[in-house]
Structure 1
Amino acid sequence: MGVEIKVEHLTKSFGKQLIWGDVTLTIPAGEICVMLGPSGTGKSVFLKTLIGLLKPDRGSVIIEGTDIATCPERELYEIRKLFGVLFQDGAMFGSMNLYDNIAFPLREHTKKSESEVRDVVMEKLDLVGLLGTEDKLPGEISGGMRKRAGLARALVLDPEIVLFDEPDSGLDPVRTSFLNQLIVDLNAQIDATFLIVTHDINTARTVPDNIGLLYHKHLAMFGPREMLLSSEEPVVRQFLNAQKVGPIGMSEEKDADELAAESDQDLPALPPIPMQLEPSNGIPRRSQREPGAWCEENGITPPPGSFDQNMSMTTGA
């Protein structure tokens, strides 16, 4: 089972440049979360701070009672064993075949025999649908296969937290859909805590249990998927529904004149909330809730057509 990540008042700068400040959220154990934000808002920096590769200026990241922002290096090393990371490009060693790439963390961090290593590697290759490709080099396979190989490597130490840094970058919509299904299936199988940084709106609308949005150096909102997909908060509404009307401009923020010019425009209706992607075997994940449950509990009327199974199927959700 995954572990909870509690982030409190986290602030990070590079020199005089504030990346984001006072970020507070709790990533629930075993759930799938997505972190969104316009380009340059520090989403990858946030991932690196969670795993202790970057130190925040202020704030804390509490994992199993340890604040990794201030703990000694030896404790941080132990906490990092809870993590698996899928990097944007897979980060495979080009001179190693897939088998050796995936075996690398086991050989570096465990005392397993080669027969035990082989059992684990073949299990993870099977898990991501890559059995039979173990002798290929990273340069001999497609981008989607490299992503899955990188995911297999991220899973070999049986992590309780898995971080995905833009797993859909460089993938076409079909491969992204396959990867999304794989992520949901894996969460159902291993019950780890998943955090996905992505720009893909369809992924954000259909995969996670919770969504966060970084914008203009702060966390605009974080909470259950249905909360954000029904939100009238301008930046959340604009980003999650890919609309032009709102505070986000081509570069960063729109100026006062642009916002004033938009003030008389009628906002487009919120699109229906799609069904959440389910595991391939049809058995709901432990953290998965009934469609519309959050809206009902909070007295929110979802947009017309929400949670329509037929609508979700035709839109590729």
Structure 2
Amino acid sequence: MGVEIKVDGLTKSFGKQVIWRDVSLTVPAGEICVMLGPSGTGKSVFLKALIGLLKPDTGSIVIEGTDIASCSEKDLYEIRKLFGVLFQDGAMFGSMNLYDNVAFPLREHTRKSESDIRDIVMEKMDLVGLVGAEDKLPGEISGGMRKRAGLARALVLDPEIVLFDEPDSGLDPVRTAFLNQLIVDLNAQIDATFLIVTHDINTARTVPDNIGLLYHKHLAMFGPREMLLSSEEPVVRQFLNAQRVGPIGMSEEKDANELAAEAGQELPPLPPIPMQLEPSNGIPRRSQRPPGEWCRDHGVTPPPGSFQADAAIATR
């Protein structure tokens, strides 16, 4: 069972450069959340703050009753045991084979026998489809396999929170689709709390239960997937639908002249909201909501064609 992450009033800066300020959100226990944002908005910094690698200037991050923004190093060490992290490039040790890479956290943080370690490592490698590749070195396998090996290592201590830092980075669309399905299947199996930083719009539209968007040094919106995919908020609408018209420009924010030139332009209609990706076995995850439930509960009319099997294809 995953655990809740409650973030309140979080602000982080490096010198005079403010990365983001007054970020508040709650990542629900056991759910899949995606954090989006233009490049350079501090998404990876946010992940590092959540795991205590970076201290925020102000605010709190409460996990299991402990504020990791202000707790002792001893308490932080204990809270970190709840986490598994998949880094952008997999962060494999190049001189170790995949088996030893995955076994590394067990050897460092537990006193388990090699027999027990082998059972656990092979179980996790089976989860990510890497059985038979355990003797390969990271340099001998594809980027997608390295990602899966990194995910096996992130899962080896049975974490209650798993952070994914751009898991689709460097992957082609087919491998990204396989990885997305793997993430959904894993969440169904282990029921941990997942937080994914990504730029992939199809991932954001089809995988998570909740979506957040960092923009212009603040959290523009965070909430259920359907809330953001039906939103008329300009920056949310522009980013989630990959549109050129809106406040986001090549340098994150458009200047006054660019915005004036767009004045009066008719925005394209919102695309249909696709069906959320389901586990391979067809059994809904505990946190998965029926299609259209949020829209019905809040009196929102979704775009035409929403929640149909071909809606995801139509938005690619």
**Shorter-chain TM-score range:** over 0.9
Residues 1-317 of structure 1 aligned to structure 2 (within 5 Å): 1-312=1-312, 314-315=313-314
Letter in 2 for 1:281: N
Q: CA deviation at 1:256?
A: 1.3
Q: CA deviation at 1:315?
A: 4.7
2: CA distance between counterparts of 1:251 and 1:190? Answer: 40
1:47-71 superposed Cα distances (whole Å, 9 cap, x missing partner): 0000000000000000000000000
Q: Normalising to structure 1: TM-score of the pair?
A: 0.99
Change (3 A) 1:278 1:316: farther
Q: Normalising to structure 2: TM-score of the pair?
A: 0.99
1: CA distance between counterparts of 2:26 and 2:139? Answer: 39
Letter in 2 for 1:197: V
Letter in 2 for 1:53: L
2: CA distance between counterparts of 1:101 and 1:310? Answer: 40
Q: CA deviation at 1:43?
A: 0.1
Q: Secondary structure of 1:309's match? A: coil
Change (3 A) 1:191 1:242: same
Q: CA deviation at 1:286?
A: 0.1
Q: Secondary structure of 2:162's match? A: strand
Letter in 2 for 1:129: G
Gaps of 5+ in 1: none
- Overall identity of the aligned pairs, in %: 86
1:187-209 superposed Cα distances (whole Å, 9 cap, x missing partner): 00000000000000000000000
1:150-184 superposed Cα distances (whole Å, 9 cap, x missing partner): 00000000000000000000000000000000000
Q: CA-atom RMSD, angstroms?
A: 0.9
1:71-94 superposed Cα distances (whole Å, 9 cap, x missing partner): 000000000000000000000000
Gaps of 5+ in 2: none
Say how many residue pairs are matched: 316
